[in-house]
Amino acid sequence: MTQASAATLGFLRRRRRVHRSPQQRSDRFTGLYTVGLYTAIGAWVSVQALRQSPTRGGSATWLASGGLARAGTVALLLGLLAALRYATWQGPVVFSAPDVHFLLGAPLPRAELVRDRLGRGLLIGAGVGAAFGLAAFVLLEAELGVAAWPLLVAALLGPVALGLLAAALGWLVESSPTTARVVLRASPLVLVVAAAGWLGGAVAATVDPWSGPWGWAVGPLVAAAGGHDPGWPVQAALLVVLTVASVVAAWLGAGNASLEELERRAGARVGLDASIFMADPRGAALLRRQAVGGLLGVRRRLRLRHPRHRWLAIPWRDALSLLRTPGRVGWALVLCGTSVLTVAVAPDRKLLAAGAVVVAYLGAAQLLEPLRGEADQPDASRQLPWRWGDLMLLHTATPILTLTVIGLTVTVTAALLGLLPGPTLGMALAACLPVAAALVWSAAIAGQRGRLGLDQFMAASAMGELGGPLHLVRWFATGPLVALVALLVPVLVLQGAAGHPTPRIHAATTNAASLLVTALAIQGAWLRSRQPPD
């Protein structure tokens, strides 16, 4: 580092330290202590629970016969995708707004200033990878009972290298808006690849470890866990070479990012910190959208002729919104498609069915942005001639219709792939509309409350270390839980009748349909009775 950079950064650090009050130091220590304590307690309880679990070893066969290769590959691929998407608006190198103005605006070598932060970003990447690896080690060691040291080394090697790779590639994404745009536009495709990697059975278990760095990172782990992967030394070597090359490229290209990109991230960081402090993911999502919107640019505005009937005004406005943000429909398609295919491939797995409901809920929630926008500023709705509850119901019309079309498309596709036999297909097609309504109304019940308000946050703060987090979890889990109650019970009824004589199946179908209709009636009535948030 040049003398000028060292002197300036040294001055900045010294002076800022002087102004840090004892209270701020104490708060920082308390924060770290609390996180450390919760992590340690959580890890200890998890390890003990795993070791004493009566079903220990129950998944060993599944893991050894390709489950570990598929699950690990998909998890790491999704992790890498999340890191790269994060780098499109934040990333491993983020300066504060004053840093951009005072430091990056000064005639100091920019590469040196970036490397100072890039080093930290790489360490964090490796740390996150190590945490993931340790968690995998604890789970696998308890489940498989294989030799611990080789398993620990393999569990750490892949994720740590992938964490470093994610940070290095993250910087390359930060440096190039073109690359960032590619990451954003290719994300749905990566999800499809991940779904294929998960659902591909024995073929996927063989192919996944060779599919890219996410698979190379899993190869050694599969071998150490007693699975069959003779190519693991090559996979490990490929991963190490790629990681080293990427880190070197990022380090050498430290001066490449434009001030515009760094300033964009600095601007978003201020709001992100506030959103995190206030446990406000909606605020963070809006910031992300704003930052990414700047990257993608303003698209030509699509027009849609307005309807004549006033009751169609809100569905028309929502359709316009979806047409202008087709990415939301794309995400809904990918998420709901994954959900339907998961259930079609393994119709008898209860846990998978529950996961599929949550994934489909997330897909439905993608379509409810206009409703959320309404709940963000409820005063604006006073110009409209509807009660809040009616307005909320009107906002769900277009999403239900869209999700039904998505459901029909995915169901027919699954049938063409041979995943749905004839009688099941008819039932699945008939279920598309009510299931779409249940998912959308679940998301609407959560969304109409608006953002987590200051009163909720203060209430959580007043509930102490245990009650506060639970209060926040309850707030955020409301939507998925409502969807699970509405949909999982009918699904379990149907699963219970599988393999039984036809009359029993008919009775189960009738019962499931009745349960779903009852759930819909309760959801609709609840939604209609709502008042605007304060």
Partner 1 sequence: MAKPPVLQLRGVAKTYGTLVAVDPLDLDVQPGECVALIGHNGSGKTTTLRLVAGLLEPTQGEVTIAGDSLRLDRSRAALSFVPDSPLLYPDLSVREHLELVGLAHGVGDRLDGRVAQLLELFDLTARADFLPGQLSRGMRQKTQLACALVRPFQLILLDEPVVGLDPPSQQALHRVLVAAKHDGAAILLSTHQLGFAAGLADRAVMLHEGRMVAQGAWGSVVDGAEAGRLGLR
d(Cα 254, Cα 111) in Å, to the nearest integer? Answer: 5
Q: Does 20 bind partner 1 (CB under 8 A)?
A: yes
d(Cα 293, Cα 379) in Å, to the nearest integer? Answer: 26
Q: Which of 22, 23, 55, 300 binds partner 1 (CB under 8 A)?
A: 300
Q: Does 1 bind partner 1 (CB under 8 A)?
A: no
Single-letter amino acid, residue 238: L
d(Cα 30, Cα 470) in Å, to the nearest integer? Answer: 20
Q: Does 4 bind partner 1 (CB under 8 A)?
A: yes
Contact between 80 and 214 (Cβ < 8 Å)? yes
- Among the residues of 145-212, which ranges form H helices? 148-175, 177-199, 201-207
Contact between 250 and 168 (Cβ < 8 Å)? yes
Within 10 angstroms of residue 487's Cβ, the number of other Cβ atoms is: 27
**How many Å separate Cα 445 from the centre of its chain?**
21
Q: Does 462 bind partner 1 (CB under 8 A)?
A: no
Q: Which of 299, 306, 474, 504 binds partner 1 (CB under 8 A)?
A: 299
Stretch that binds partner 1, among 103-111, 156-164, 364-372, 377-385 (CB under 8 A): 103-111
Q: Does 324 bind partner 1 (CB under 8 A)?
A: no
Give the residue carrying structure tokens 């390709």.
66
Question: Counting beta carbons within 10 angstroms of the beta carbon of residue 243, is it exposed (0 to 12), middle (13 to 18) or buried (19 or more)?
Answer: buried
The secondary structure of residue 67, as a DSSP letter, is I
Footprint of partner 1 on 341-400 (CB under 8 A): none
Stretch that binds partner 1, among 100-108, 281-289, 336-344, 398-406 (CB under 8 A): 100-108
Going from the C-alpha of 412 to that of each of 343, 422, 425, the distances in angstroms are 14, 11, 8
* H-run or E-run covering 13: helix 3-19
Q: Which is nearer to partner 1, 177 or 315 (CB)?
A: 177
Tell the smallest beta-carbon distance from residue 450 to partner 1 (Å). Answer: 28
Q: Which of 44, 186, 237, 260 binds partner 1 (CB under 8 A)?
A: 260
Stretch that binds partner 1, among 94-102, 219-227, 331-339, 355-363 (CB under 8 A): 94-102
Stretch that binds partner 1, among 104-112, 312-320, 358-366, 455-463 (CB under 8 A): 104-112
Q: Which of 22, 54, 107, 230 binds partner 1 (CB under 8 A)?
A: 107
Contact between 428 and 411 (Cβ < 8 Å)? yes
Within 10 angstroms of residue 301's Cβ, the number of other Cβ atoms is: 8
Q: Which is nearer to partner 1, 164 or 254 (CB)?
A: 254
Q: Which of 36, 105, 201, 426 binds partner 1 (CB under 8 A)?
A: 105
Q: Which is nearer to partner 1, 22 or 297 (CB)?
A: 297
Q: Does 13 bind partner 1 (CB under 8 A)?
A: no
Stretch that binds partner 1, among 37-45, 50-58, 91-99, 276-284 (CB under 8 A): 91-99
Single-letter amino acid, residue 494: L
Q: Which is nearer to partner 1, 177 or 370 (CB)?
A: 177
Q: Which is nearer to partner 1, 100 or 156 (CB)?
A: 100
Q: Does 110 bind partner 1 (CB under 8 A)?
A: yes
Q: Does 258 bind partner 1 (CB under 8 A)?
A: yes
Residue 132 token pair:
């993931």
Q: In this structure, what is the dihedral angle of CA atoms 246, 252, 258, 263, given to the nearest 10 degrees? A: 80
Single-letter amino acid, residue 79: G
Going from the C-alpha of 95 to that of each of 11, 260, 273, the distances in angstroms are 17, 12, 13
Tell the smallest beta-carbon distance from residue 369 to partner 1 (Å). Answer: 20
Q: Which of 281, 294, 327, 347 binds partner 1 (CB under 8 A)?
A: 294
Single-letter amino acid, residue 228: H
Tell the smallest beta-carbon distance from residue 259 to partner 1 (Å). Answer: 5
Q: Which is nearer to partner 1, 260 or 348 (CB)?
A: 260
Q: Does 12 bind partner 1 (CB under 8 A)?
A: yes
Q: Report the interface residues with partner 1, using CB under 8 A.
A: 4, 7-8, 11-12, 15-16, 19-20, 96-98, 100-103, 105-110, 258-260, 263, 294, 296-300
